[in-house]
Structure 1
């Protein structure tokens, strides 16, 4: 579970690469899933993107599982 650490002004989450809870930069980004398709502008989905501020590991997770 993510927690807010007010002293660091960020999100502390478990990092698979570091193996500990570390400070992460978390954002929501709209990504195109089928760029080569004629309908690419219809295939944009929100993703939760997080980057470990310690090791730089970056992961993304689709927010809509339709």
Structure 2
């Protein structure tokens, strides 16, 4: 779960590496899933990317899984 608490740190989330809630940078990015060059333009999907500002661990979550 993430939260914006009005602190100067901004958005905080649980970090599995740190073992606690820490500030994170969060963005939405279009990532290519195929490693085959001719199919790459057809395999782009939106992902929620979250990076812990304390330890630097990054997580990517595909946004349109059903």
- After TM superposition, the score normalised by the length of structure 1 is 0.89
Q: Which runs of 5+ in 1 are unaligned?
A: none
Would you say how many aligned residue pairs link Structure 1 and Structure 2?
66
* Structure 2: tracts of 5 or more residues without a match: none
Q: 1:55 maps to which residue?
A: 55
Match of 1:42 in 2: 42
* Pairwise CA RMSD: 1.4
Moved over 3 A (4+): none
- Which one is further off, 54-63 or 28-37? 28-37
CA distance in 2, matches of 1:9, 1:57: 17
- Larger % of helix: which? 2
